Amino acid sequence: MQYKEQIMVDEIRRIMSEITGRDFSNINENISLFSSAIGTKARDILCLFLEIEKRYGVIIGAEKINNPNFFTLKSIAIEVENEKLFNLK
């Protein structure tokens, strides 16, 4: 994983910790946020996406949201970094 993506994964971990009140620092970046091992709810993910939009101006599109494989820390971080770069152009 690239350095910027790792920084974004860590930032998303912090945001999820703020939203849920649970420690996300050791959550594997490749596990679905909907995994029973993590225990997040759809509301938590919605709050995450709203916070990403607020902080970074990145809107997660429906084509991503409808993909069940999208909901990992890593895939969300990559999407945010890619959209941030795209928005700079």
Tens digits of pLDDT across the chain (89 residues): 688 889 999 999 999 999 999 999 999 999 999 888 888 998 999 999 999 999 999 999 888 888 878 899 999 999 999 887 666 54
Question: For the whole model, what pTM was predicted?
Answer: 0.86
Assign 3-state DSSP to the chain and report helix, strand, coil percentages, each to 5. 65, 0, 35
What residue spans define the domains of the chain? Answer: 3-88
The answer to whether the CB of 13 falls within 8 A of the CB of 19 is: no
- The amino acid present at 19, given as its one-letter code, is I
Q: What is the dihedral of CA 17, 21, 23, 29, to 10 degrees?
A: -40
Alpha-carbon gap, residue 78 to 74, rounded angstroms: 6
CATH no., domain 3-88: 1.10.1200.10
